[in-house]
A and B are shown apart, each in its own frame.
Chain A
């Protein structure tokens, strides 16, 4: 069910209470009287980012003009901006979940260009401005389920991947789409450790890529993407485990054969090419039946929630896999 969110809700209004409290605590600890300093601060003010300097960068990010807002998460409470931007995986900035926010301030998402290659009538290098010129940016609230067993609800801003791909007129040979993340060791300290075979690569079958749910995101919480969340352009595939949502995309290639993907290369028995959220197929080392919702009401005592097939998006995507053995093609 789509619940239309009134357009007049400002990004700041969906801020979690803990952030307001954190902000107050910060002011207290700094010993500053009055709230004068709050003026000009966005909702991301928190203890950690004030120290690391990412705050300034986040504040500089432009507020996006959103064409419309749709809720694809059944009205479930949204994760706070602070949690969604300070607790995530982006191994190019380090393998700890606090590393991306801490180590991404040097990253330069502008200027940006994306190489379009492979089986398509239109290929070449396109600037980000060019990529975005025909797209209207909309907000979509999606559930995000990490393969590690935690989940969030995030208001992304972006446009359907299909709308962009169609522009390049993929040919009949384009059976799959392969994506590559930027590789900049000087700006991405995590690249010095070969946690994965860099650069990060992901892929989709062309019909998966053309599914309307597949989102190319340029923002979240009404603003441009912060560096740590994959600026300036990333994929969001709410029915798949989070790692399929490749970040900071520099190359999109239309290919005939199933492309190799980073996590699948690293451990093929643990991370399949499809990696659709599936409570029936456990990770070899842990269960996928339930998940812990980050920032859920009840805090420490919030119960685990049941993981749904395709992360609750079966209605929109299950047909893509009809007739397939999902245990085999996990």
Chain B
């Protein structure tokens, strides 16, 4: 029998490949001229979808550890988080280079003037320090501050969902699903156990 640690290590390459599937599929459709009538919008939307999905998957690792009792979920967290940055960067790169190509004045105006762009761009900016400090060396160097810094992911999650919500014209059902999943993932982090036990008669203090 493998130890849990070995199992997680063995699974990692597989998870890595699975994480590459969405971009591979997009590139395949791109090469086959199969991105529909507005290929730029399609690349933009699908890469954005996956950035948000990977963000939610990353945020699911801690609750999964708690619920399943398998501690190794956490070992996928960094890789998944880096994929958030990867897909968010593809999303931003498509927007800057293909959608608003060359229209730099418009790019700056949009980032400042359009709340949904401001919020989306902020989310990507906030991912930068998390990405840079994702190495083992940085974790060591930052010590306790590493955990504090990486709490930014909660804010990034809120900004990313808001970015989606604000850009749709009328049908907000899809962004609301993401908002609901994010809310659930936040709720699972609350100290329910402590609160539930606190509701019961208090045990005599230990001495």
Binding site for B on A (CB under 8 A): 18, 21-22, 25, 47, 82-83, 86-87, 91, 95, 97-98, 148, 150, 193, 195-196, 266-267, 282, 285-287, 289-290, 292, 294-295, 299-301, 303-304
| Cross-chain contact A285 with B33 (CB below 8 angstroms) | no
Binary contact readout B93-128 vs A (1 if CB under 8 angstroms, 0 otherwise): 000001111110010011001111000000000000
Q: Shortest distance in angstroms between B101's beta carbon and chain A's nearest beta carbon?
A: 6
| Cross-chain contact A21 with B37 (CB below 8 angstroms) | no
| B41 at interface by CB-CB < 8 Å | yes
A-B CB contact pairs (8 Å), 16 listed: A25-B32, A82-B37, A95-B170, A97-B38, A282-B113, A285-B114, A286-B110, A287-B106, A287-B114, A290-B106, A294-B37, A300-B39, A300-B43, A300-B98, A301-B98, A304-B99
A-chain residues with CB within 8 Å of residue B43 when the two chains form the complex: 300
Select which of A98, A285, A286, A292 is within 8 A of B36 by beta carbon. Answer: A98
Select which of B40, B116, B173 is within 8 A of A285 by beta carbon. Answer: B116
Closest 7 CB pairs of A and B: A87-B37, A95-B171, A83-B37, A294-B37, A195-B171, A195-B170, A300-B39
| B166 at interface by CB-CB < 8 Å | yes
Q: Shortest distance in angstroms between A316's beta carbon and chain B's nearest beta carbon?
A: 28
| Cross-chain contact A287 with B170 (CB below 8 angstroms) | no
| B177 at interface by CB-CB < 8 Å | no
> A196 — nearest CB in chain B belongs to which residue?
B170
Asked whether A266 and B109 contact (CB < 8 A) given A285-B115, A285-B116, A292-B38, the answer is no
Asked whether A266 and B37 contact (CB < 8 A) given A287-B109, A289-B106, the answer is no
| Tally of chain B residues near chain A (CB < 8 A) | 30
B-chain residues with CB within 8 Å of residue A289 when the two chains form the complex: 106
| Cross-chain contact B114 with A294 (CB below 8 angstroms) | no
B-chain residues with CB within 8 Å of residue A286 when the two chains form the complex: 110, 114, 167
| Cross-chain contact A300 with B40 (CB below 8 angstroms) | yes
> B110 — nearest CB in chain A belongs to which residue?
A287
CA distance in complex: A290, B116 (Å): 18
| Cross-chain contact A304 with B100 (CB below 8 angstroms) | yes
Q: Shortest distance in angstroms between A184's beta carbon and chain B's nearest beta carbon?
A: 20
| B169 at interface by CB-CB < 8 Å | yes
Q: Shortest distance in angstroms between A54's beta carbon and chain B's nearest beta carbon?
A: 15
| Cross-chain contact B33 with A21 (CB below 8 angstroms) | yes
| Cross-chain contact A150 with B101 (CB below 8 angstroms) | no
List B residues 165-179 near A (Cβ within 8 Å): 166-167, 169-171, 173
> A82 — nearest CB in chain B belongs to which residue?
B37
List B residues 33-57 near A (Cβ within 8 Å): 33-34, 36-41, 43
Asked whether A295 and B169 contact (CB < 8 A) given A285-B116, A290-B106, A304-B103, the answer is no
> A282 — nearest CB in chain B belongs to which residue?
B113
CA distance in complex: A295, B39 (Å): 9
A-chain residues with CB within 8 Å of residue B109 when the two chains form the complex: 287
Q: Shortest distance in angstroms between A175's beta carbon and chain B's nearest beta carbon?
A: 29
